[in-house]
Amino acid sequence: MRIVILNFLSLDGVYQGPGSPDEDRSEGFNRGGWFVPFADAALEATVEQWAQSATGFLFGRRTYEEFSSVWPTITDVSDTNAARLNTLPKYVVATSPINTTWGPVTVLDKNVEDAVAALKQNEGGELQIHGSGHLGRSMIAANLVDELRIAIAPVIVGQGRRLFGETTASLGFDLVYQERTSTGLIMCRMERSGHAEVGTYVRGQTNRQDR
């Protein structure tokens, strides 16, 4: 099974509060809604396509609780994204009791990295992490993420939680898809390629061999 992160980021890697000023004011964050000016139909179409391959979802506690208050109320049978979120298996990282009525739910309350590594041994399928930046960052640090699907907004937020942080692993990715929307969003997919490559730059030459 593959682990895929799907997230909206600013140029400085912030994922906190993209959708409205009051979406997430934790830790004094007061710049929410920074992604909204760039959202358009092209974004929605691409994200819908990216989400189609999900066979389950991996959530942090905060995102699960936020999603569970909204998505069950969307019952339009033509909304395939809502249908997936409302019916597919959900794995939630939580160390204290949560309301699991938005199921089916499996709570991962200890040894999370080992539990996700065990899930990855299952044949086929794709667990997607939507939002849940803290969880996504920990999965990247544990070298468990197979693909990033990122919409990058041309804005520097300047404060807030960021997806990428320090990790003990040196990680390389291949860009397998990119698209620029009319509003300036950069939509890209990057698959893990192993360790990050290094080299010494010599003008007019390159140490990187074509694959």
Q: What is the pLDDT of residues 26-85, one digit of tens each?
A: 999 999 999 999 999 999 999 999 999 999 999 999 999 999 999 999 999 888 999 999
Strand partners, 173: 192
**CATH number assigned to the domain covering 2-194:** 3.40.430.10
Q: 83-115: per-residue pLDDT in tens?
A: 999 999 999 999 999 999 999 999 999 999 999
Scan for tokens 């980021």, then name that residue: 9
Contact present, 91 and 58 (Cβ < 8 Å): yes
* Structural domain boundaries in the chain: 2-194
Rounded Cα gap, residues 69 and 53, in angstroms:
24
Inter-residue contact 19 to 160 (CB < 8 Å): no
d(CA 125, CA 11): 31
pLDDT for 169 beyond 80? no
Indicate whether 207 pLDDT > 80: no
Per-residue pLDDT, averaged over 125-154, amounts to 95
Which residue from 105, 63, 40, 54 is spatially nearest to 83, judged by alpha carbons?
54
Kindly list the strands in the beta sheet with 56-60, ordered across the sheet, starting from the edge strand earlier in the chain: 105-108, 90-93, 56-60, 126-130, 2-9, 147-152, 186-194, 172-180
Averaged pLDDT for residues 167-172: 80
The pLDDT assigned to 49 comes to 94
Burial, 102: exposed, middle or buried (Cβ in 10 Å; 0-12, 13-18, 19+)?
buried
pLDDT of 91: 97
Q: Which amino acid, one-letter code, is at 51? A: A
Tens digit of each residue's pLDDT (9 = 90 or more) over 2-27: 999 999 999 999 999 999 999 999 99
pLDDT-derived band at 198 (thresholds 50, 70, 90) equals confident
